[in-house]
């Protein structure tokens, strides 16, 4: 008996059986059905559907890349309630690297086979479009082969506004300096009711979506995230996924969706606590089922921990990001268990093999570099 038959003959509700039927016949589920999945579906049922889609799209392939992060500064003009990382100028714990320091970080990778640098930081009041553009150009002089995935829509809005140019012009300028793609951060929760409570000051939902749309139109691909597990409810999560699915229908420019679990240490939402690991897996699965037009779902292991990232591979996830090389602080400051996130290629490959999947090293755009099977 195939899994379709098992679900048909099981004693789950008719409404969940109808959703399963849709998934098995490649039909899109509605927002109401998405909420129903969150509210009513068991973990095993969600895993079965999400894994069906994952294997249909990618078989057992599980992608990772060799990358490192640069966080130019944690000084930020905003005060997002969930942020453990933000500092003000001269505050204890603040950092801002000079251009030379940043370039030295890139030079440390000379001769190493990394393919991507991921650059994200706070919104520094004194830095602008040309400072960051020049930084990218200088990085490219050192490593012309490196893919530069840089700046969340929040950072982009600020630097483009400050330069007094249109979104299109600002993005075009950055592309000319060498920007290759845009990471998914800054999305948080799109629904205005939640956004105004957790990050009222920074780029609005519409601005986030407009920036990604404008980037896609110029051939700059991007990722998308959700920051879940704080004050939002299931309806807000589905609303978020729905806005992303609509934009992806329009542009096709998103590569990967990355659900980011709210971590509670050292921020003003600490009292809320964190959702369970079961909820993390359910969230990956619903994301995979709802976002039928997103090629990839990523589990960001520095935030989740290695074992949960491994488990997520049975709940719709096909990508576990990269080797990272201890170059990010965002999650260790927010309480992630791994204080020095770093995995050798061998460790990443073994992690994937232990759960009978095929480790594939990819570049940022999912071109296959090496099959480790």
User: Considering Cα of 226, then 231, then 235, then 236, what sign does the dihedral take?
Assistant: negative
Compute the least distance from the CB of residue 335 to ligand V47, in Å: 7
CB nearer to ligand SF4: give 74 or 181. Answer: 74
Element (H, E) at 70: strand 67-70
Select from 72, 122, 178, 185 the one that contacts ligand V47 (CB under 6 A): 185
Compute the least distance from the CB of residue 262 to ligand V47, in Å: 5
Phi-psi region of 252 (alpha: psi -120 to 50; beta: other; left: phi over 0): left
Select from 225, 283, 287, 310 the one that contacts ligand V47 (CB under 6 A): 225
Select from 38, 190, 290, 300 the one that contacts ligand V47 (CB under 6 A): 300
Which of the stretches 50-58, 184-192, 206-214, 354-362 binds ligand V47 when contact is defined by CB under 6 A? 184-192
- 3-class SS at 225? strand
Which of the stretches 41-49, 221-229, 237-245, 340-348 binds ligand V47 when contact is defined by CB under 6 A? 221-229
What's the rounded Cα separation, in Å, for the pair 98 and 120?
A: 15
Residue 206 burial by CB count (10 A; 0-12/13-18/19+): exposed, middle or buried?
Answer: exposed
Question: By CB under 6 A, what part of segment 198-227 binds ligand SF4?
Answer: 199, 202
Under rule CB under 6 A, residue 122 binds ligand SF4: yes
What's the rounded Cα separation, in Å, for the pair 158 and 146?
A: 25
Sheet holding 222-228, edge to edge: 222-228, 254-261, 296-297
What's the rounded Cα separation, in Å, for the pair 361 and 372?
A: 8
Under rule CB under 6 A, residue 303 binds ligand SF4: no
Compute the least distance from the CB of residue 89 to ligand V47, in Å: 20
Q: Which are the contacts of 200, defined by CB distance < 8 A and separation ≥ 6?
A: none
Q: Are 159 and 128 a contacting pair, CB within 8 Å?
A: yes
Which of the stretches 72-80, 171-179, 316-324, 357-365 binds ligand SF4 when contact is defined by CB under 6 A? 72-80
What mask of x and - would describe binding to ligand V47 in positions 140 to 179, judged by CB under 6 A?
A: ------------x---------------------------
- 3-class SS at 259? strand
Say how many CA atoms lie within 13 Å of 3 toward its Cβ: 15
DSSP-assigned beta bridge partners for residue 119: 70, 150
Compute the least distance from the CB of residue 170 to ligand SF4, in Å: 18
Under rule CB under 6 A, residue 262 binds ligand V47: yes
Which one of ligand V47, ligand SF4, none interacts with residue 78, CB within 5 to 8 A by kind? ligand SF4
Compute the least distance from the CB of residue 95 to ligand SF4, in Å: 12
Contact positions toward ligand SF4, by CB under 6 A?
76, 78-80, 83, 85-86, 122-123, 154, 199, 202
Contact positions toward ligand V47, by CB under 6 A?
82-84, 120, 152, 183-186, 188, 223, 225, 227, 258, 260, 262-263, 267, 300, 330, 334
């Amino acid at each position: 008996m195939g899994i379709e038959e098992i679900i048909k003959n099981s004693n789950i509700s008719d409404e969940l059986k109808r959703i399963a039927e849709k998934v098995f016949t490649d039909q899109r589920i509605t927002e109401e059905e998405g909420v129903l999945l969150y509210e009513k579906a068991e973990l095993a049922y969600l895993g079965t559907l999400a894994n069906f889609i994952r294997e249909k799209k990618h078989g057992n392939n599980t992608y990772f890349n060799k990358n490192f992060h640069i966080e130019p500064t944690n000084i930020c003009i905003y005060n997002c309630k969930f942020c453990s990382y933000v500092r003000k100028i001269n505050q204890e714990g603040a950092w801002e690297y000079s251009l030379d320091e940043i370039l030295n970080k890139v030079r440390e990778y000379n001769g190493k086979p990394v393919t991507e640098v991921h650059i994200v930081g706070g919104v520094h009041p004194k830095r602008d479009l040309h400072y960051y553009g020049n930084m990218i150009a200088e990085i490219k002089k050192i490593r012309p082969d490196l893919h530069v995935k840089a700046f969340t829509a929040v950072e982009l809005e600020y630097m483009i506004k400050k330069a007094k140019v249109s979104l299109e012009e600002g993005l075009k300028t950055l592309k000319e300096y060498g920007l290759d793609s845009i990471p998914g951060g800054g999305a948080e929760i799109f629904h205005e009711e939640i956004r105004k409570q957790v990050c009222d000051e920074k780029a609005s939902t519409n601005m986030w979506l407009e920036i990604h749309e404008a980037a896609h139109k110029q051939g700059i691909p991007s990722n998308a995230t959700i920051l879940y597990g704080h004050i939002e409810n299931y309806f807000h999560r589905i609303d978020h996924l729905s806005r992303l699915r609509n934009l992806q229908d329009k542009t096709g420019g998103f590569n990967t969706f990355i659900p980011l679990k709210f971590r509670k240490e050292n921020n003003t939402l600490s009292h809320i606590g964190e959702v369970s690991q079961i909820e993390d897996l359910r969230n990956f699965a619903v994301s995979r089922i709802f976002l039928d037009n997103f090629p990839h779902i990523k589990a960001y292991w520095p935030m989740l921990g290695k074992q949960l990232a491994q488990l997520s591979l049975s709940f719709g996830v096909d990508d576990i990001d990269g080797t990272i090389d201890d170059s990010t602080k965002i999650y260790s400051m927010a309480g992630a268990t791994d204080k020095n996130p770093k995995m050798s290629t061998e460790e990443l490959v073994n992690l994937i093999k232990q759960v009978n999947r095929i480790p594939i090293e990819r570049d940022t755009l999912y071109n296959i570099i090496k099959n480790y099977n």
